[in-house]
Amino acid sequence: MTNPLLSDWDTPFQLPPFETISDDDFGPAVDAALEAAKANITAITDNAEAPTFANTIEALEMAEDLLGRVLGTFYAVAGADSNPAREALQREFAPKLSAYGSWVTANAALFARVDDLFQTRDTLDLTDEQARVLMLTRRGFVRSGAQLAGDAADRLRDVKSRLSVLGTDFTQNLLADEREWFMSLDKDGLSGLPDFVVATAKAAGKEKGADGPVVTLSRSLIVPFLQFSERRDLREKAYEAWTARGANVGKTDNRGIAAETLKLRYERAQLLGYDTFADYKLETEMAGRPDAVRDLLMEVWRPAKAAAEADAKQLERMLHADGWDGPLQPWDWRFYSEKRRKELHDLDEAALKPYLQLDRMIEAAFDCAHRLFGLEFALIDAPKYHDDVRVWEVTRDSTHVAVFIGDYFARGSKRSGAWCSAMRSQQKLAGDIRPHVINVCNFAKPEDGQPALLSYDDARTLFHEFGHALHQMLSDVTYESISGTSVARDFVELPSQLYEHWLEVPEVLAKFATHAKTDEPMPEDLLKRMLGAATYDMGFSTVEYVASALVDLAFHDGPPPSDPMQKQAEVLEDIGMPHAIRMRHATPQFAHVFAGDGYSCGYYSYMWSEVMDADAFAAFEEIDDPFDPALAKRLEETILSSGGSVDAAELYTAFRGRMPGVEALLKGRGLAG
């Protein structure tokens, strides 16, 4: 029988035929795709003709087409709908793919051709985009060890292989802890919980096979539980389980993995000639050096900490007024903060949520994209890897732009968090290839027949991930290696965080924030109060984020700590972490940093990008038109369509005319002054 992953796909827009793919197909398909990629690369090095951009760089761009198709399909389902077979395949693929990557970058004949082109680049009559691709290709080889030889090259290969295994293990341990823990709630355990939380807990209990409602470690359930539960003992139990993910003694303990990962990253950097992993990692980012990252984070930390400490005093007074002695604890913060928000802004999450329906927020994101960029979205009948998934065709002026896939609900088979990925990226080298883009979220799934309701933070997450999706959809470059979100890590969050601002535009919410039962729009006074409270508790959220970013930086800016947990404690003590706030991601669950190299020494990038997104949206505010067509066109032409074809700072300067300072960020977070 023909392996469907290796066949031509006679499906709408050549989407993967998920219904005909079995888990048994992935292993043979990856092996076949790896062999095909090796054959393509061997053909490049065996070419007797002198290297040209076409027969070397463009051939290299095309060499892994089949591998990309197979892996794009596999990792889409492995991340969003895992099972034991897929987890085993991830563990099997990690060292194979690492070995293949090392084989490519250690291929002396291949690097010689690339380097020859780079050294003679001024004579090649390259376009700006081609020159950029050539530079990035050579730089990628060098940073992967192409100039190493002998024992150093062998050791680097082994280090990278082990790191790939550790990243997979870290992710799977975290998923196991999140999947296996839940806490049953009796009638008393439901005390204080609004109807929407009770309904979510019942749906979670049904999924877990429990006899009644439960709290799980899904953020979409545990956060509202911590906000509303009057049972302080249950809040503590749930919070401690949530923050202990990856640190439970036994086979899912991630602390040893974190220590080994940091040690190997440091060794990798030194093999490549860098003092620290931070020096290696930040070389290609906008920040450039560790001191620049630390300066930004500390500039934000000081006012954020002051705001959080002032808030903590107010919340602790409320705790004592309820008859509890002692200090405010981390499992108390959200509960009393919710009460205080209601007092200060007359806002009740339970009253707010019915106006933030998932389907209406999806419509809002689509409508903003239409008004800004002329995009249209139409649901289509297409292959899906899970029944919860929805698929849209994206068009502009009746021309196909992309396929957009939305997978919004939390489930035990899905890793936590929210992300955007492309099963297929935009490029023109092999024809006009349009992208297949996925947004994955973990919103609480409602009971059957009930609408899915979001918190305001959930709605922001939806807009955030859709901003990433627009970066992929509107990409307009020739080469896949610089397509879409293939940009500096501290630039990639700019489009996503910028798009969040359109959720705050009053006319958007006035149109799409309609009540789930009455279909009435959100009352104007409630809308004003909600937007007026947008910076409420910003000290807390900023402190938990910046603390995580500072710990990440400290892990990598120097020799590796023998005990990462001790290093984490030292950093938090040094910066004066408030007692009642913990890091957003403690080390054993810090998947951004330890599930792979993507955000390692790069968690700061959300804030680096926020400096730009606050300033970029200010451009629309300055002309008092969030949908100004000329400005939207410039945003698309400079940032959203360019991918990595131009240096990130040049792209931003082309849009805004200058680089920004931190002032707009502090003002936007309510921390200025």
In a domain, 221, yes or no: yes
Determine the pLDDT at residue 347: 87
Domain range for residue 464? 354-532
pLDDT (0 to 100) of residue 447: 85
Decide which of 95, 127, 147 is a domain's last residue.
147
Q: What is residue 486's predicted lDDT score, i.e. its pLDDT?
A: 97
Does residue 608 lie within any of the structural domains?
Answer: no
pLDDT digits (tens, 9 = 90+) for 480-537: 999 999 999 999 999 999 999 999 999 999 999 999 999 999 999 999 999 989 899 9
- What tokens were used for 491? 């630039």
Contact 353, 453 (CB under 8 A): yes
User: Would you say residue 348 has pLDDT above 90?
Assistant: no
Sign of CA dihedral 468, 473, 475, 478: positive
Q: Does some domain include residue 265?
A: no
Helix (H) or strand (E) holding 649: helix 648-656
Query: Is 264 a domain residue?
Result: no
- Spatial distance between the Cα atoms of 352 and 341, rounded to a whole number of angstroms: 12
In the predicted structure, residue 673 carries a pLDDT above the cut 80: no
Do 95 and 221 sit in the same domain of this protein? no
458's tokens: 């959930």
Q: Is the pLDDT of residue 672 over 90?
A: no
Q: Is the pLDDT of residue 220 over 80?
A: yes
- 314 exposure class (CB count in 10 Å sphere: 0-12, 13-18, 19+): middle
Q: What is the pLDDT of residue 199?
A: 92
- Residues 97-126 have a mean pLDDT of 97
pLDDT in tens, 246-265: 999 899 999 999 999 999 99
- Alpha carbon separation from 557 to 7, 167, 280 (Å, rounded): 47, 20, 10
DSSP 453: B
Average pLDDT, the chain: 96
53 and 96 co-located in one domain: yes
Residue 65 lies in a domain: yes
Distances (CA, A) of 512 to 388, 445, 506: 22, 20, 10
Alpha carbons 579 and 381: distance in angstroms, whole number: 51
Cα–Cα distance measured from residue 539 to residue 310, given in angstroms and rounded to the nearest whole number: 9
pLDDT exceeds 90 at position 351: no
Q: Are 405 and 391 in contact (CB under 8 A)?
A: yes
> In 600-647, which residue ranges form alpha helices assigned H by DSSP?
605-622, 629-635
Contact 430, 403 (CB under 8 A): no
- Name the strands in the sheet holding 436-443, side by side, starting at the edge strand that comes first in the sequence: 376-379, 390-396, 399-409, 436-443, 419-424
Asked if residue 206 has pLDDT above 80, the reply is: yes
Classify residue 365: in a domain, yes or no. Answer: yes
Domain membership of residue 152 (yes or no) is: no
Dihedral of alpha carbons 325, 327, 330, 334, sign: positive
DSSP conformation class of 514: B
Residues 233 and 86 in one domain: no
- The percent of residues in the chain predicted with pLDDT above 70, rounded, is 100
189 shares a domain with 67: no
Q: What is the CATH number of the domain that holds 456?
A: 1.10.1370.40
Q: What is the DSSP string of 158-186?
A: HHHHHHHHHHHHHHHHHHHHHHH-EEE--
Q: Residue 167 is encoded by which pair of tokens?
A: 């990243």
Amino acid code (one letter) for 505: V
Residue 127 and residue 186 in one domain? no
Single residue among 102, 124, 147 that ends a domain in this structure: 147
Which of 504, 532, 560 is the endpoint of a domain? 532
pLDDT of amino acid 369: 98
Considering the domain boundaries, does residue 55 fall inside one? yes
Catalytic residues: 465
Residues 25 and 139 in one domain: yes
* End-to-end Cα spacing for the chain: 68
Closest among 415, 388, 410, 413 to 200, alpha carbons compared: 410
Question: Residue 416 has what pLDDT?
Answer: 86
Structure tokens at 396: 């502009």
Together in a domain, 10 and 108: yes
Could you tell me which residues come within 8 angstroms of residue 515 by beta carbon, excluding any fewer than 6 positions away? 354, 355, 521, 522
Structural domain count of the chain: 3
For residue 643, pLDDT beyond 90 = yes
Same domain, 36 and 92: yes
Q: Tens digit of pLDDT for each residue in 427-437?
A: 999 999 999 99
Q: Where does the pLDDT of residue 448 fall: very low under 50, low under 70, confident under 90, or very high at 90 and above?
A: confident
Both 143 and 194 in a single domain? no
Looking at the fold, whether 196 and 119 belong to one and the same domain comes out as no
Tell me what pLDDT residue 431 has.
93
| Spatial contact of 384 and 477, defined as CB atoms under 8 Å apart | no
Is residue 139 domain-shared with residue 210, that is, in the same domain? no
pLDDT of residue 598: 87
215 plus 137 within the same structural domain:
no
Counting residues of the chain whose pLDDT is more than 90, the rounded percentage is 94
Closest CA to 95 of 150, 163, 30: 163
Looking at the chain, how many residues does it have?
673
Q: CB 30: neighbour CB atoms within 10 A?
A: 22
